[in-house]
């Protein structure tokens, strides 16, 4: 679908959505010399505010996100991770040096210092309570070795690997829980401070002269504007000439890029057979400053992790992080996907994000099943928290945009000239914040379109004989409607 664009460097380009896809695309467009870029978002992000706590509900506005190279047999993402790790290192370095090199007062976003870092390389442990290593982990070890990343994926039950972990000062990450688990430590991985990284990206984009129009009226996309086509071709009968926002203003563009995360499928119905919006549950525990557990769960002693409680089957998927600087220990549940189907103006039902900030009171409620799995995990694997009187204090529903095959969607939209989308993060795109925009610009410019990653991100639909990795429709094996499962108030 992607084709070479004759876009002039000063053509007006609109990006809707300032999550990681929108931010990264704006930065890389500006770095390639495009001079007329405007990013719109319905949320009032600014340089001191990108976090969930502060009232922003995108998938990207969060405390922390996992970074890993471990991608099983999906080597296109393994390579992308290697690229992203260099880019994170460059951003860490930029943060350190920009104020001294630049000298200007606004070299860093307000509240950020050269001593901050975005990426913390404390390792990522993928593990389970199974007795044998699952295929995914085996494939990761093999593929990282074949790609030359020797000794980076360490099995926590192999003496040689335990020694290697110890040599790297990462032995703490092999068995981080009260009960032993079987797993592989990705020593290239760790986590990224999501909120800080997004604020830095916004600041960086602004310094590259990207304009931002943010807020529930002026920043909210409501519709496309169209230009009449002079072509007789049915394949380009809709020419998108820009967007209209909730304040009634029209904004012309030669290219509009929709990057609205979980909101995208309801804004672009042609994604129906490709993407669906699903909720994951996030749990927060607050560790008081005086507690010795702050040290126990510090990132220098505790990895980021993903864990599958096998006796819950495929529904036992959890992940978590070290404690953050405010004492928040975050654990996520992704074993079962939930949807929020709502009737839309075209008569179709589509799942849309339901969050506190969109006027829903469900923010404090998560599915009982998620709560049950996390509670049991805490009792069995991190009992010192409960024993110290530290329990789940807050919960949040966080909205994913899942594609049926877990690949992103970065392409021009069929039948619409002047319209692209960059979405379908499928729960694993944050780690590519510093680099993914470069790929989006390649797609815009028609560069290297035969690379496996770009091919995987093309506009596509499920073939009849194809088994989807993610079932998009409701049903026994598909995601469950949030409103048909018992919710629990924390
Ligand atoms: C709970 C959870 C945990 C995750 N963990 C990880 C992880 O550990 N590692 C990892 O790599 N990835 C992770 N991911 C995935 C990652 O967070 C997402 O893939 C990525 O953040 C998606 O970014 P986005 O730009 O597509 O969407 P978002 O970040 O959701 O941004 C979309 C933006 O569009 C804006 N918008 C929507 N509608 C409109 C409109 N009408 N007008 C204007 N603006 C609009 C929204 O306000 C929002 O700011 C996780 C995702 C979730 C939900």
CATH code of the domain covering residue 288: 3.30.9.10
Atom 12 (ligand 1) nearest CA? 428
Nearest CA to 479 among 489, 469, 466? 469
Q: Is 282 in the same domain as 338?
A: yes
Taken in order 319, 321, 323, 327, the sign of the CA dihedral is: negative
Beta carbon of 18 within 6 Å of any ligand 1 atom: yes
Using the structure block, give the residue that is written with the tokens 């309570």.
129
| Residue range of the domain that includes 332 | 275-403+477-489
Asked if 37 and 26 touch (Cβ cutoff 8 Å), the reply is: yes
Q: Is any atom of ligand 1 closer than 6 Å to the C-beta of 423? A: yes
Contact criterion met (CB below 8 Å) for 255 and 359: no
- Residue 76 domain flag: no
Whether 71 maps to a domain, the answer reads no
Give 417-442 pLDDT, tens digit per residue. Answer: 999 999 999 999 999 999 999 999 99
pLDDT of residue 134: 86
Residues 377 and 330 in one domain: yes
Name the residue of 16, 46, 54, 60 to mutate for ligand 1: max ligand atoms within 8 A of Cβ. Answer: 60
Q: What is the pLDDT of residues 471-481, one digit of tens each?
A: 665 554 567 78
Given pLDDT bands bounded at 50, 70 and 90, which one contains residue 86? Answer: very high
Q: Residue 401 above 50 pLDDT?
A: yes
Q: Which of 39-53, 91-105, 129-143, 431-445 is predicted least confidently?
A: 91-105
For residue 23, the domain's CATH number is: 3.50.50.60
Looking at the fold, whether 353 and 481 belong to one and the same domain comes out as yes
- Angle, helices 135-146 vs 75-102, to 10°: value is 60
Residue 265 lies in a domain: yes
**Are 392 and 412 contained in the same domain?**
no
Residue 167 lies in a domain: no
- DSSP letter assigned to residue 20: H
Range with the poorest average pLDDT among 214-223, 259-268, 464-473: 464-473
Q: How confident is the model at residue 122 (pLDDT cuts 50, 70, 90)?
A: very high
Task: Identify the pLDDT of residue 479.
Answer: 74
In a domain, 125, yes or no: no
Same domain, 349 and 243: no
- Does any ligand 1 atom lie closer than 6 A to the CB of residue 400? yes
Per the prediction, the chain carries an average pLDDT of: 90
Give, in degrees to the nearest 5, the angle at Cα 20 between 18 and 25. Answer: 80
Query: In this model, does residue 2 exceed pLDDT 50?
Result: no
What pLDDT score does 110 carry? 85
Q: Is the ipTM of this complex over 0.90?
A: yes
Residues 408 and 363 in one domain: no
Question: Residue 45: CB within 6 Å of ligand 1?
Answer: no
Q: Does residue 212 form part of some domain?
A: yes
Q: Please indicate, yes or no, if residue 100 is contained in any of the structural domains.
A: no
281 plus 412 within the same structural domain: no
How many domains does the structure of the chain reveal?
Answer: 2
Tell me: do 245 and 332 sit in the same domain.
no
Same structural domain, 323 and 372: yes
Three-state SS at 87:
helix
d(CA 409, CA 398): 20
Domain assignment present for 485? yes
Verify that 377 and 311 share a domain, yes or no: yes
Give the model's pLDDT for residue 4. Answer: 47
Same domain assignment for residues 259 and 205: yes
Answer yes or no: do 307 and 376 share one domain. Answer: yes
């Amino acid at each position: 679908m992607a084709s070479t664009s004759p876009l002039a460097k000063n053509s007006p380009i609109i990006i809707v959505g300032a999550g990681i896809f929108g931010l990264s695309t704006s930065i890389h467009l500006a770095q390639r010399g495009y001079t007329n870029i405007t990013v719109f978002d319905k949320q009032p992000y600014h340089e001191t505010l990108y976090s969930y706590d502060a009232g922003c509900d995108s998938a990207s506005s969060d405390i922390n996100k996992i970074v890993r190279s471990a991608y099983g047999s999906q080597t296109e993402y393994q390579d992308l991770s290697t690229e992203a790790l260099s880019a994170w290192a460059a951003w860490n370095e930029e943060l350190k040096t920009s104020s001294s090199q630049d000298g200007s007062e606004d070299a860093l976003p307000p509240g950020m210092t050269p001593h901050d870092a975005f990426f913390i390389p404390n390792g990522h442990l993928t593990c389970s309570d199974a007795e044998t290593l699952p295929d995914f982990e085996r494939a990761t070890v093999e593929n990282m070795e074949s790609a030359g990343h020797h000794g980076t994926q360490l099995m926590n039950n192999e003496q040689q690997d335990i020694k290697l972990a110890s040599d790297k000062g990462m032995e703490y990450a092999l068995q981080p829980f009260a009960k032993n688990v079987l797993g592989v430590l990705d020593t290239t991985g760790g986590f990224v401070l999501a909120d800080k990284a997004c604020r830095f990206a916004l600041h960086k984009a602004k310094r590259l002269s990207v304009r931002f129009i943010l807020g529930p009226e002026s920043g909210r996309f409501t519709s496309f504007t169209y230009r009449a086509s002079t072509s007789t071709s049915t394949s380009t009968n809709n020419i998108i000439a820009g967007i209209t926002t909730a304040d009634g203003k029209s904004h012309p563009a030669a290219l509009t890029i929709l990057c609205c995360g979980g909101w995208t499928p309801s804004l672009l119905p042609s994604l129906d057979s490709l993407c669906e919006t699903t909720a994951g549950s996030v749990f927060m525990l607050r560790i008081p400053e005086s507690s010795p557990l702050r040290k126990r769960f510090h990132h220098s002693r505790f990895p980021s992790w993903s864990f599958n409680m096998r006796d819950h089957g495929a529904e036992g998927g959890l992940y978590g992080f070290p404690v953050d600087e405010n004492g928040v220990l975050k654990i996520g549940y992704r074993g079962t996907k939930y949807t929020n189907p709502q009737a839309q103006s075209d008569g179709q039902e589509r799942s849309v994000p339901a969050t506190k900030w969109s006027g829903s009171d469900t923010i404090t409620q998560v599915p009982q099943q998620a709560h049950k799995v996390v509670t049991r995990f805490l009792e069995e694997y991190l009992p010192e928290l409960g024993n110290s009187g530290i329990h789940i204090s807050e919960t949040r529903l966080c909205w994913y945009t899942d594609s049926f095959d877990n690949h992103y969607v970065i392409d021009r939209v069929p039948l619409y000239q002047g319209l692209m989308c960059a979405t379908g993060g499928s729960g694993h795109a944050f780690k590519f914040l510093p680099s993914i925009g470069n790929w989006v610009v390649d797609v815009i410019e028609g560069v290297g379109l035969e690379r496996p990653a770009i091919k995987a991100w093309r506009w596509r639909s499920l073939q009849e004989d194809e088994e989807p990795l993610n079932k998009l429709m409701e049903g026994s094996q598909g995601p469950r409607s949030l409103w048909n499962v018992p919710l629990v108030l924390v």
